[in-house]
Structure 1
Amino acid sequence: MTIRLMALLGLLYALGFALFGVSLAKPAGAERTEAVVVLTGGSGRLERGMAVLKRGEAKRMLVSGADPSVTRADLARRLGPDTLGTLRCCVDLGSEAVDTRSNAEEARRWIVRRGYSSVRLVTSDWHMRRAAYEFRQDLPETTIIEDAVQTRPSLWLLFLEYNKYLLRRAALWLDM
């Protein structure tokens, strides 16, 4: 009986991983939100957030998890000099977050302080499921649009992210 149970759990785990790997998040359409939150740590994320602002699909952006030494001028050097005006008027740099969970906490404080009810979440496709889960836990009353930056994650990266996602769900389910 124990072997059958372990085999069933192993099969469910493998099927879940396969589903996780083939159903990565996609870029959002042109939905308008009040704000955009960009999680640092992956290429293309800042560029996607800036494009959302430039298209008028959000009025303000939080870059969550930015290194405390990063300035708007540093971002302008990376994103192009034509972005400096937008960076000055409409971008806040959050440096309190160190992981996905604290990204959601930092964003919650920012969103509540500004009174926003809708936000576009920008992160990598492989990271979106866990990030969106954390954000929905911290911001149950906020509309969250998932806007994933498409990548080509390795099988190892997907494996690690799947396990982090499962562990985080289990921790919340167990109220830890």
Structure 2
Amino acid sequence: MDEEAAQAPTGAAGPVPPAVVVMGVAGCGKSAVGIALAVALDAVFIEGDRLHPPENVARMASGEPLTDQLREGWLDAIGERIAASVGEGQGVVAACSALKRGYRERLRGFCPDIVFLYLEIDPATARRRVASRKGHFMPASLVDSQFAILEPPGSDERALTIDATRAVADVVADAMHLLANS
């Protein structure tokens, strides 16, 4: 599923937020969880990795971490897609690392009602998962740089934390429950 139109998402307990950003370091499962969550919510899915400009992809593929400045246009592209979907009355799930509070605030500038779903994972598991991926531009050598800049969501942010070391189906079930009751 790339991007599909959807109705306002609902969970078992009722309506869920119109915009969810599945966030975390490389290898935490953002795309797999994001796709499955979008299907469960009958929402649009936005793959943040596809919105990186070619220059950013080339930098990461060569093992160079992105700076805050290099991420700005990418975050704006994701934020614009989220806002467009919400503006059309569609629920949306986006996969985006959103590693720093400032990145999350930038995305909220496009849609204040975003809920961040933080997929928490340990460095060893993240490195192992990234090393085993085929056809992705992100090398395992960049995992540590992601943990180095990671600012997990604070208690004052609209965010939910889920242990991402479990199976995708279990993570999505927990996400559905938490979103429906948030």
Q: TM-score, normalised by structure 2?
A: 0.41
Q: TM-score, normalised by structure 1?
A: 0.42
Question: Which has the bigger relative contact order, CA under 8 A and spacing at least 6?
Answer: 2
- Kindly indicate which of the two structures has a greater share of residues assigned to helix: 1
